[in-house]
Structure formats: C-alpha cells, structure tokens
Amino acid sequence: MSDTIKTDVLIIGAGPVGLFAVFELGLLDIKAHLVDILDKVGGQCAELYPEKPIYDIPGIPLITGHGLSEALMEQIKPFHPTFHLGEMVTTIEKIGDPLFLVTTDTGKTFECKSVVIAAGGGSFQPKRPPIAGIEPYEDKSVFYAVRRMENFRGKDIMIVGGGDSALDWTLNLQPIAKRLTLVHRRDDFRGAPDSVNKMRALVAAGSMDLRIGQVSELEGADGQLAAASIKDKDGAVTRVACDAMLPFFGLTMKLGPVAGWSLEMDDELVKVDVSTFETNRPGIFAIGDINTYPGKLKLILSGFHEGALMAQKVHHYVYPEKRLVFQYTTSSTSLQKKLGVV
Amino acid sequence: MPNVTFIEHDGTVHTVEAELGATVMETALKNDVSSIVAECGGGCTCATCMVYVDDAWMALVGPPSADEEYQLDSAFEVKPTSRLSCQIKITEALDGLIVRTPAYQGR
C-alpha cells in the first residue's frame, strides 16, 4: 500500500460537476484530488456523449460532451487538481471531526477534511452478458478487464465483442495465447481500421480464429471454463474450447460502493441539505446527478450551482477559523490572482 | 395520435398513444415500459433501449443506420429485427406498430 495522500477535499467523480467543483473550491483556496473509475475525465460527457450536442449550458448555445469536458479542464487549470483515473473509491472512514480516510480499489488512501460525491449515475462498470450460469466463472476464468497479461499466457482465450477493447486485447494477447478466438455477432468491426486490418491479417495467416455469432452456453466446472458454444445467425451451434473468456460489451452505470457508505438514500440517490448539499454525514457532500432533494433536476447546470454552495460549507471545515467573504471573479483582485489573470 | 404496442419479455402488453415525431424509446419511458432502460437518454450511445420490431413492421421501420448497428454490438441477444428504440421516430405510417422488449438490456 502506498503512503496516504493528504488533501483538503477528495472529489469522487470527474464528470462536469466534479470538475467544476474544483473551480468553486479553488476560489476558496481549497485543494482537491479527484478519483474516477473511467480512464478519462468527463464522466458521462466523455463516455456517453463525446460527440453529442448539449444545448442547455447557460451562455453556451451548443457544445459537445467532449468540448464541455475540455473547456472545464481549461477553466480549472489554475487550481492544479490531481486526478486518479481508472480507480474506484470503495470505503470512506471517519477518523476525525471532520477528517476522513478514503480508500480506492487499487489500495490508494487519502486523508481529507471533506468528501464530495459527484458520482453521477454511480460507477461505469462492464456489461455482463446474460449467459446462463456465467456467475461462477467470473473473476476465475471470465474477466471483464485484463489486469495482468501474463495470467493469459498459454491459454485458449476467447474474446467476445467488436469494438476497440475487443480488438486491442485480441492483438495484445494473441502472441502469448495458446490459441485465441475472437467472437463477434457480425463480420464488421467498429474498432480502429488499423486494428481491424491487423486482426484480419492474423486470421488470414491462420494465427487466430474469428467466429461470427453470439455466445449461447458455457461449459466447465468449479469456475474453470472448458468451452463455449457459439450460435450463428442461422441458429447453428459450434463448440469452441477455451479456458479464459473476455467479454467486451461496453459499460453500464451501477450505483456501486456508494450504497455502503451509511448515507441516507432515496431510490439509489443520496439525500442532501439544499443549502449546503451536505449529506446526513457531516463533511460528506453529494452534488450532481447522484443527489436528490425536493425539486431536483438532473441538469449539469444544477450540479454547477450545487458545487458553488457546497464549497461555502466545505470552507468551514477546511478553514474553521477564517471568515468567508463572498467575492466576484469580475472584480476581486484576490480571486483574479488565484486564477492567474492579474 | 398513432398507437404503439410494447410486448415485454414477461408478456406484459402496453398499447399506448405516441406523439408524432417522438421516438419509440420516449414513448416507452412516458408509459412506464420498464424493460426500456435508455441509460444515455436517446444518444444512440448505450444500447439499453433495444427492441425487436414485429416481423410485419420491419419493412416499414427499416434497418438500423451504421452508427446504430455499431451500438447494437454492445447489446445482447441481437436478432435481425433488433433496433434501438431511441432511433425510431413515430410517424403516421407507424400507427399500430408492435415491438417486443428483451429480458435484459445490459443492466
């Protein structure tokens, strides 16, 4: 385990609302680290809508999800946030008044005075294929991510899917596999053309197999896969031996560990005080799509507002002795210094 | 207004009125057809609103676009009649449309 990272605030979620929280906290001299399960910032804007238009950001008639993430990253640059991507916060332990010890699934720990949950719809997790009896194999011989390539050396590997993840791992694991089979529902791939060409060349050279169809059944015992059945579009079934399977069907949002943090919830949403966006646990805040209160609207602009009010209360926890004077970025020299514009 | 019939995998039938120009997905959500998840809200980016278009309606509804076909790659139990309901717009011609929903949308 690494040394504990000390910061004023830990923000869970690096979507637009988490990113803008850095700005509002930064104006009040509060430093933040952010953790996000995705390997990139932007949250849903990056994962679901990178090229889709957003029409309801005040003052910006039209921007894409990617564009908004980029603009927010530019806006918060003066505050030097630190990002911990590809990690999921698992536990929040109260160790002071208020002081928290926060742990991620990679074993990283943070000590912070406040925690801001800006987790949107929860955490993006791999879609699990609805194959009967798949559960006992998961994490034993069916994996939704590759943690260590070496674990796959010498194995009969089956990769399922047609996107970049499926193709990238096909190309990375083929050289160390005993035999690799790529299974996709149709003979057309949405991955990068270069990856598609490389995969096709390997198939043509007889170095791997490509099967068109959908996995219909698994065979094995005690979590160890032995074979999978592939059903083609005419219903014909082929049995393929494999001792490791990697299904890549994209991501879906699940509430995840938030449910275990002793927070008052209402239908998978965190209840907050509308003047501070603090939860029932003092020092833990929830902003953006993850929270609920009377009249709540799941809008990015609402999340921005919630972040501004949250920062006011967090200031009390980080600087209990300091009085907070409300200022405008337009006219305050001290705020402009923080922004690096004077 | 045109009618659309949703037949869920458990046999529940909803015949509902649909607004012209709205999508089949929006029509499902307005009428509590719970097996339409629509995680991305209609962006054609999540494949959690898949339906099977009734054979008799398939010619009129038409095939998916290339972009939608890509998204169907992250759906399950995909059939030749699979469409993402957020990509089907209600027209007068679709009055009486019948779609079936799968047991699982990935979550």
Alpha-carbon distance A320 to A323, whole Å? 8
Q: Are residues A113 and A209 in the same domain?
A: no
Over residues B21-54, the pLDDT tens digits come to 999 999 999 999 999 999 998 989 999 999 999 9
Domain residues for the domain of A165 are 128-249
B81 close contact with A: CB closer than 8 A: no
Q: Are residues A120 and A138 in the same domain?
A: no
- Choosing from A249, A271, A302, the residue where a domain stops is A249
Q: What is the distance in angstroms between the Cα of A245 and the nearest Cα belonging to chain B?
A: 16
ipTM comes to 0.89
Best mutation site among A66, A253, A299 for testing chain B: the one with the most B CBs within 10 Å? A253
- Choosing from A200, A218, A249, the residue where a domain stops is A249
Q: What is the distance in angstroms between the Cα of A162 and the nearest Cα belonging to chain B?
A: 6
- The pLDDT assigned to A100 comes to 98
Over residues A267-298, the pLDDT tens digits come to 999 999 999 999 999 999 999 999 999 999 99
Strand partners, A209: A181
Q: Which portions of chain A are predicted below pLDDT 50?
A: none
Q: Are residues A13 and A161 in the same domain?
A: no
Number of domains in chain B: 1
Q: What are phi and psi of A223, to 5 degrees?
A: 80, -5
- The pLDDT assigned to A1 comes to 52
Q: Are residues A31 and A14 in the same domain?
A: yes
Number of domains in chain A: 2
- Choosing from A195, A224, A249, the residue where a domain stops is A249
The answer to whether B106 contacts A185, with C-beta atoms less than 8 Å apart, is no
Q: Are residues A133 and A80 in the same domain?
A: no
Q: Strands of A237-241's sheet, edge to edge?
A: A214-221, A224-231, A237-241
Alpha-carbon distance B20 to A287, whole Å? 36
- The pLDDT assigned to A172 comes to 97
Over residues A62-77, the pLDDT tens digits come to 999 999 999 999 999 9
Which of A 222-251 lie inside 8 A of B, CB atoms?
Answer: 233, 249-250
CATH of the domain at A42: 3.50.50.60
Alpha-carbon distance A49 to A327, whole Å? 34
Q: What is the distance in angstroms between the Cα of A128 and the nearest Cα belonging to chain B?
A: 6
Selecting from B45, B70, B77 the residue whose C-beta is nearest the C-beta of A190 gives B70
B101 close contact with A: CB closer than 8 A: no
| Assigned domain for B106 exists | no
- The pLDDT assigned to A46 comes to 92
- Helix residue spans in A48-141 (DSSP H): 65-76
- The pLDDT assigned to B85 comes to 98
Matching residue, tokens 């005040």? A58
Q: Are residues A196 and A212 in the same domain?
A: yes
Helix, strand counts (H, E) of chain A: 7, 21
| Assigned domain for B68 exists | yes
Over residues B52-69, the pLDDT tens digits come to 999 999 999 999 999 999
Domain residues for the domain of B78 are 3-100
In chain B, what percentage of residues exceed pLDDT 90?
94
Q: Are residues A232 and A318 in the same domain?
A: no
- The pLDDT assigned to A49 comes to 87
Q: Is A321 helix (H, G, I), strand (E, B) or coil?
A: coil
- The pLDDT assigned to B20 comes to 97
β pairing state of B50-53 and B82-84? antiparallel
Q: What are phi and psi of A22, to 5 degrees?
A: -60, -40
| Assigned domain for B105 exists | no
Alpha-carbon distance A79 to A29, whole Å? 9
Matching residue, tokens 């709205």? B22
Residue A305, both tokens = 């507002």
